[in-house]
Amino acid sequence: MSASAEPQAAPRHSLPEGGPAHGPAAFLALLLGVLGSSMSRYIARRVGWGIFLLFVVSALTFLIFYVFPSADPAALRAGRQANPQLIAQIRHALGLDDPLYEQYWIYLKGIFLHFNLGYSYQNNVSVTSQILTRLPVTISLTVGAFVVWIAIGIPLGILSAIRRHSTVDRSTMGLALLAISAPVYWLGLIVLLLFADDIGKVHLLPGAGSYVPITHDPTQWFLSLLMPWFVLAASFAAIYARMVRGNLIEVMGEDYIRTARAKGLSERRVILRHGVRAAITPVVTLAGLDLGILLGGAVLTETVFNIPGIGRYAYDSIVNSDLPAIQGTVLFGAFFIIVMNIVVDVLYAFLDPRVRY
């Protein structure tokens, strides 16, 4: 932290007196200023690292698939009437008899030149198109769950912090512990057994496999996703409530909260504008990362509720030893995580002025 009396000079102060200049030269200077700012340099560096990381992820997935024992994709493809000749033929057609580095090189070329993640060993369908068709499904699930857990977790966390040791606090934290401990696949099955309109005790909501696109039937889309949203959101809401509570309790003991009270602000304003504002910054970071992870596919939730998203696709391709599909989903997931990481870091600089790159 700087102890200097002089604040860092903002770029705009370097403009000549008498207001901003005009003309192409000034525009160029401004453009260079933005491009040369520490923030854009930082972003460029992070993007570079992100691309490098994606290389590493793809190479590792490739290696793991070949090093660890898995079913022979050619044998799987050959089906029931398989004979060595057919398998060899398929192996050659899929390029599996090429050296490993050559296979990897072809794969990379496909991605960079044609945004082509390859074709499924299983049914020869383009992995890229499979993922892109499934992306809206995963986005529907993830973003909906995100809204639910933010809307539940943050207010409950605030309430628990300011009414510490009250009934609200104790019951929220008790429930939170339950929600964190309950695995999604277990919670999902319980909820289905209770509320699904086919197997449930109460026929309340459409159950597993009932997903339809929002463009097809918005009401059905909403109803079919209600249970998955809440099931996926449960543990996140619990974690966020605990985190907000902990942060806010700590912040409310800070000297600047005392200052805010001494200014004569209402307690509501002290809590929301001064307390929550400071307590929420780490939560935003976490939220961005969680969102990135889930956008790569909420595997368990999509599997339990049979939702045709990227997570379900990843699950199926692992079961089928379908390397191009596994590669594609892993890379896609890594891509979202890396992107959200960068987004979160940039956001952090806006949320906390003390952060400098």
Q: Which range of residues in 27-35, 182-190, 194-202, 270-278 is near other proteins by CB under 8 A?
A: 270-278
17 touches other proteins (CB under 8 A): no
Percentages helix, strand, coil for the chain (3-state, rounded to 5) are 70, 0, 25
Which among 48, 62, 43 has a CA at the least distance from the CA of 331?
62
Find tokens 């009932």 and name the residue: 210
Long-range pairs, 44-48, Cβ under 8 A, ≥24? 46/341, 46/342, 46/345, 47/342
Q: Which range of residues in 153-161, 194-202, 262-270, 333-341 is near other proteins by CB under 8 A?
A: 262-270
170 touches other proteins (CB under 8 A): no
203 touches other proteins (CB under 8 A): no
Per CB under 8 A, the list member of 52, 266, 272, 306 interacting with other proteins is: 266
347 touches other proteins (CB under 8 A): no
Minimum distance, C-beta of residue 354 to other proteins, in the bound complex (Å) = 5
Q: Which range of residues in 33-41, 214-222, 326-334, 345-353 is near other proteins by CB under 8 A?
A: 345-353
215 touches other proteins (CB under 8 A): no
Sorted by sequence, the CB contacts under 8 Å of residue 163 that are 6+ apart come out as: 169
| Residues listed for the chain | 357
Q: Which range of residues in 56-64, 108-116, 136-144, 249-257 is near other proteins by CB under 8 A?
A: 249-257
- Residue 309's region, left for phi above 0, alpha for psi from -120 to 50, else beta, is beta
Cα(271)–Cα(58) distance, rounded to whole angstroms?
A: 46
Per CB under 8 A, the list member of 169, 316, 345, 352 interacting with other proteins is: 352
Q: Which range of residues in 3-11, 108-116, 170-178, 334-342 is near other proteins by CB under 8 A?
A: 3-11
Cα(237)–Cα(155) distance, rounded to whole angstroms?
A: 10
256 touches other proteins (CB under 8 A): yes
- Residue 342's region, left for phi above 0, alpha for psi from -120 to 50, else beta, is alpha
Nearer to other proteins, 203 or 269 (CB): 269
260 touches other proteins (CB under 8 A): yes
Per CB under 8 A, the list member of 5, 67, 113, 319 interacting with other proteins is: 5
Q: How many CA atoms lie within 13 A of 245 on its CB side?
A: 23
Yes or no: say if 198 and 117 are a contact pair by the CB < 8 Å rule.
no
15 touches other proteins (CB under 8 A): no
Minimum distance, C-beta of residue 265 to other proteins, in the bound complex (Å) = 5
167 touches other proteins (CB under 8 A): no
Minimum distance, C-beta of residue 183 to other proteins, in the bound complex (Å) = 37
Per CB under 8 A, the list member of 97, 102, 217, 267 interacting with other proteins is: 267
Per CB under 8 A, the list member of 4, 81, 83, 85 interacting with other proteins is: 4
Across 162-216, the runs of DSSP E, i.e. the strands, are: none
Find tokens 């806010």 and name the residue: 248
258 touches other proteins (CB under 8 A): yes
Minimum distance, C-beta of residue 170 to other proteins, in the bound complex (Å) = 15
Instruction: Please name the amino acid found at residue 201.
Output: K
14 touches other proteins (CB under 8 A): no
**Three state DSSP letters for 246-306:** HHHHHHHCCHHHHHHHHCCCCHHHHHHHHHHHHHCHHHHHHHHHHHHHHHCCCHHHHHHCC
306 touches other proteins (CB under 8 A): no
Q: Which range of residues in 34-42, 80-88, 250-258, 314-322 is near other proteins by CB under 8 A?
A: 250-258
Contact positions vs other proteins (CB under 8 A): 1-5, 7-8, 254-256, 258-267, 269, 273-274, 277-278, 281, 351-354
